[in-house]
Amino acid sequence: MKTLLSRKRSVNPTRSLLAIGVVAALLSISILTAGARAQAPNPAGANASRYGVAVVDISYIFKKHERFRAAMDSMKKEMETIEAQLKADREKIAQSEQQRNTFNVGTAEHKRLDEEVARMMAEFNLKMGRLRKDFLEREAKVYYQTYLEVVDAVNSYAKRQNIGLVLRFNGEPVDPNRREDVLREINKPVVVQDQIDITPDVLTLLNRDQAVRPAQPGSQLPPR
């Protein structure tokens, strides 16, 4: 008991406070380090806030936008199903044509089957045109809604970073052997940019909640 009491009395208050301070400092450094890892800076856009001007690669964002890609994949599968149905319809028409050709031209049976084939072809063309128009309209809607979402994300980011102007550019490498690549490079609006590319930051904003609200093909994207 005496030994314990003597040990308690031998504790130095100054050293205790110093130890607590060291622990607190270490905890603060650990928290700051974790925050820095969670919000790693974008080197490509390091000067955007400094200059008040930024560039963004819209085409690249569309390629990497997770909700947009999911919607396009869903529509692609839907189109494959539609094409399978149209293929089955074409096969039915082909069978009717083969059956018609077994009869001599001018006979009543040939005439009846010929009219039936004509009717089936007209219905098939109307169906194909209607499906194609509907698909293209919904695809355009997904593209437009996604573009509005991208613009909203760019606008929000620019306001937070005090950026007054955001220009569109294309950061895709140029193949000098491809005429369209060369023309795109010659006609690009942004000739030089010094680390003001905010594309990675905007893409992070758009994809951060993909699991919460996946896009549906042709549906209204929820507001941010």
Domain spans, the chain: 1-33, 42-207
Q: Mean pLDDT in the chain?
A: 82
- This model's pTM is above 0.85: no
Residue 53: strand, helix, or coil: strand
Q: Tell me how far apart the terminal alpha carbons of the chain are, to the nearest angstrom.
A: 67
Which residues contact residue 149 at a Cβ distance below 8 angstroms, ignoring those fewer than 6 apart? 206, 221, 224
Q: Hey, which residues does 168 pair with through a beta bridge? A: 56
Task: Tell the burial category of 197 from Cβ atoms under 10 Å away from its Cβ (0-12, 13-18, 19+).
Answer: buried
pLDDT > 50? residue 138: yes
C-alpha 214: how far from its chain's center? 11
What's the rounded Cα separation, in Å, for the pair 52 and 162? 6
Q: For 85, what's the count of Cα atoms within 13 Å in the CB-facing half-sphere?
A: 11
> 205 — phi, psi (to 5°)?
-60, -40
Helices (H), 39-178: 48-51, 58-64, 66-100, 108-160
pLDDT of residue 216: 47
- Is 223 in a helix, a strand, or coil? coil
Per DSSP, the three-state class of 157 is helix
Q: Is the pLDDT of residue 98 over 50?
A: yes
Please compute the mean of the pLDDT values over residues 208-220 and round it to a whole number: 51
Architecture of domain 42-207: 2-Layer Sandwich (3.30)
The Cα 78–Cα 135 span in angstroms is: 9
Q: What is the mean pLDDT of residues 202-224?
A: 60
Each residue's pLDDT tens digit, 42-64: 898 999 999 999 999 999 999 99
pLDDT number for residue 208 = 86
Q: What is the pLDDT of residues 156-197, one digit of tens each?
A: 999 999 999 999 999 999 999 999 999 989 998 899 999 999
Virtual torsion, Cα 177, 181, 187, 188, nearest 10 deg: -130
Q: Which residue has the tokens 């951060």?
A: 208
Quick check: helix, strand or coil at residue 25? helix
